[in-house]
Chain A
Amino acid sequence: MANSKSSPALKDELDIVIPTIRNLDFLEMWRPFFQPYHLIIVQDGDPSKIINVPEGFDYELYNRNDINKILGPKASCISFKDSACRCFGYMVSKKKYIFTIDDDCFVAKDPTGKEINALEQHIKNLLSPSTPFFFNTLYDPYREGADFVRGYPFSLREGAPTAVSHGLWLNIPDYDAPTQLVKPRERNTRYVDAVMTIPKGTLFPMCGMNLAFDRELIGPAMYFGLMGDGQPIGRYDDMWAGWCTKVICDHLGLGIKTGLPYIWHSKASNPFVNLKKEYKGIYWQEELIPFFQSATLSKDANTVQKCYLELSKQVKAKLGKVDDYFNKLADAMVTWIEAWDELNPSTGASTGVPNGTAK
């Protein structure tokens, strides 16, 4: 099929947010797909270190000093020494869409051997509707070669606007530390050629390694929490954002897709280090999941910010007793929204206006 587009889709409407503490060498491999887009680099760790951005990329870079300068005291909500700091990039972006990717993620190949333009697939996912209200057994009905199956209610076939596109990983799968310890050699080699909507009312583990979202529809919900330095927990940043985001999307009638695109995840982090970061999360999670599964938002919560602030109150009320960490997190959630609104004064109406056409 000939590609008649002369310029990459959403070239001026999408920012690529990359957290890094090391280097950005991985961008070389992505150059054919990423170069047309603007990058927001969030440099974690030592701000005096110089991060080399490969030539030819249009970017803005923020280190910890920049974050402190821009947010002042509100910078306390942005994690340090953890890739959770990436959400600062979401906040300062002025674009409608965000794609975020880790610096150990490379271009994967599909079963025909063709290199996968992950960004292009995310854009397709975001620009076509989701189907959260009824499961389609042929997965995403808006994909080429698919459709709604017999029995799918006609009244639900317009779908809902897509707020999030969650991609997957070949090679090193996103396992928790205990699973990594038990299966150190397991690699994900299965290419599942599907995109699907995660149904309304169902939670999922959102991984921030290969993720895209509509910032105008859901941006303020993508707070990656308090992790890393000085915090009792790590590797739950994206999980936290995902559960908040899902509850809010369900409330506002927005959809979240998962599946394609795949990237190639090259680095397995140290499982013992991971275990130390995760272990509190593993048992706190057992309280968090029922909390999110039963969380309801009021009818008045008709913007993402309002939803998020309501959620933060519930976090304090119900999870504060699990650990004081959640009191701090609830406060940080409020700080985040305040900071978001300060940096993004015009956004605020997120009542699920459809983006893009159906097919």
Chain B
Amino acid sequence: MSETSINHDEVDIVIGALQLDLTSFMEEWRPVFSQFHLIIVQDPDLKGKLEIPAGFNFDLYTKSDIDGVLGSSSNAISFSGYSCRYFGYLMSQKKYIIAIDDDCIPAKDSTGNFVDAVAQHMTNLSTPATPFFFNTLYDPFCEGADFVRGYPFSLRSGVDCGLSCGLWLNLADLDAPTQALKPELRNNRYVDTVLTVPARTMMPVSGINIGFNRELVGPALLPAFRLAKEGNLRWETVEDIWTGMCVKVVCDHLRLGVKSGLPYVWRKERGNAIESLKKEWEGVKLMEDVVPFFQSLRLSTSAATAEDCVSEIAAAVKVQLAPANPIFARAAENMVELVKLWKRARTQ
């Protein structure tokens, strides 16, 4: 795979609006966002009108749009809270999507320069990934680096990158118990690298700061699994963790890469971890149980597209996980439903 460069008009930036006033968020990102088409999706549970500053090229979707598309679909599918951005993924017609949470602003790198997170995601998505053998100098395609001695030559062309997972300075994406135990813990470490997460290695994919190739993996990034009382603070959700495991299985099967590392965004203070601890999350324990399932999941050779893969995963969830808990049966049904929605949206 040779490097390709991505045109701005191949990219949608999707913003899930969980707060009404997007002014400061958009102003912070203006130098970057103003160059792209934006899809802004208002959390359907958020009442009121969004405040969006002038000078941006965007499409806005609200509850009525979501209801219109969902129509008679199973009412177990929800695009509320952090899941609202998935609706933006569904509506996009572009090849690449980059999504950043509305409580994140541009970070500074270790030299004090502002990080253009969008440009870095684009670089990650347009350069090959190397999932089949670990390169100890990390990304061999970046300036000043290469494959090390001992890296098999036959694997040096790499594969397409399907997903680019960025990181967070200040408030890292920790779960509530961890943040509650260490209330002062802030991520100040700028790790200057991108690496490919090896094939068949599972990871927590955070939805806070990601980019992906919608054409290659889109159907896997749709909200099938949610906690019964999912909240609108990141540490009260697991929807991205579920989709993250699905998309990793899809990428591993389709021989696509998943990168992790740069870019960083700066995540603002929000919420109280200890307060969040008081909420009940039946799903968090369930997520423990699904790890062995995803780790051992293998798809058939006939699954050649992300749609095929997601359908097979849904079938496996129904057979292997649903008997233990109806929440998985619902997740499997949602996945099937969402693939249908996906296909429908693509033909429009």
Contact = CB atoms under 8 A, between A and B. Distances in A.
Contacts of B110: 111
Interface string A129-157: 00001111111000001111111111110
B158 interface: no
Interface in B195-228: 197-206
Nearest to A200: B201
Given A145-B187, A174-B148, A137 B193 contact: no
Q: Which of B110, B152, B199, B206 has the most CB of A within 10 A?
A: B152
B16 interface: no
Contacts of A286: 152-154
A61 interface: no
B197 A135 contact: yes
A152 B295 CA distance: 13
A192 B190 CA distance: 9
B137 interface: yes
A339 B235 CA distance: 54
Contact of A192 (B155, B178, B188, B192): B192
Contacts of B193: 190, 192, 194
Question: Which interface residue of B136, B153, B288 has the most chain A CB atoms within 10 A?
Answer: B136
B112 interface: no
Given A145-B188, A186-B144, A150 B136 contact: no
Interface in B278-324: 287-288, 291, 295
Nearest to A179: B146
Contacts, number: 172
A235 B149 contact: yes
Interface string B161-174: 00001010000111
Nearest to B185: A147
B82 to A, nearest CB: 12
B173 A150 contact: yes
Contacts of B204: 134, 136-137, 149-152
A166 B150 contact: no
Contact of B244 (A133, A151, A154, A189): A151
A327 interface: no
A206 B165 CA distance: 26
Contact of B133 (A138, A156, A289): A289
Nearest to A153: B291
Nearest to A155: B288
B238 A151 contact: yes
Chain A CB within 10 A, most for which of B138, B148, B154, B175: B148
Contacts of A146: 187, 189
A222 B110 CA distance: 37
A91 B191 CA distance: 37
B60 to A, nearest CB: 29
- Secondary structure class of chain B's binding surface, majority of residues: loop
A189 B144 contact: yes
Contacts of A175: 146-149
A200 B206 CA distance: 22
A200 B185 CA distance: 29
A147 B174 contact: yes
Nearest to B181: A147
A199 B189 CA distance: 22
A203 B234 contact: no
A59 interface: no
B145 interface: yes
A201 B185 contact: no
B260 interface: yes
Where chain A touches its partner, the secondary structure class is loop
A166 B136 contact: yes
B174 A153 contact: no
B178 A148 contact: yes
A135 B201 contact: yes
Interface string B262-282: 000000000000000000000
User: Contact size class for A?
Assistant: 35 or more
Contact of B173 (A149, A154, A174): A149
Interface in A166-202: 166, 168, 173-176, 179, 183, 186-194, 198-202
B198 A192 contact: no
Given A150-B234, A199-B201, A205-B149, A188 B133 contact: no
B49 interface: no
B146 A201 contact: no
B203 A137 contact: yes
B253 to A, nearest CB: 15
A297 interface: no
Contacts of B175: 148-152
B149 A190 contact: no
B178 A201 contact: no
B138 A205 contact: no
Given A137-B204, A145-B189, A242-B150, 15 more contacts: A135-B198, A147-B174, A151-B238, A155-B291, A174-B136, A176-B147, A187-B144, A192-B191, A198-B134, A205-B148, A207-B136, A236-B150, A239-B149, A285-B153, A289-B133
Interface of B: 110, 133-138, 144-155, 165, 167, 172-175, 178, 182, 185, 187-193, 197-206, 234-235, 238, 240-241, 244, 260, 287-288, 291, 295
Interface of A: 111, 133-139, 145-156, 166, 168, 173-176, 179, 183, 186-194, 198-207, 235-236, 238-239, 242, 258, 278, 282, 285-286, 289
11 contacts: A135-B198, A150-B173, A151-B241, A151-B244, A152-B175, A155-B291, A168-B136, A190-B192, A205-B149, A258-B136, A286-B152
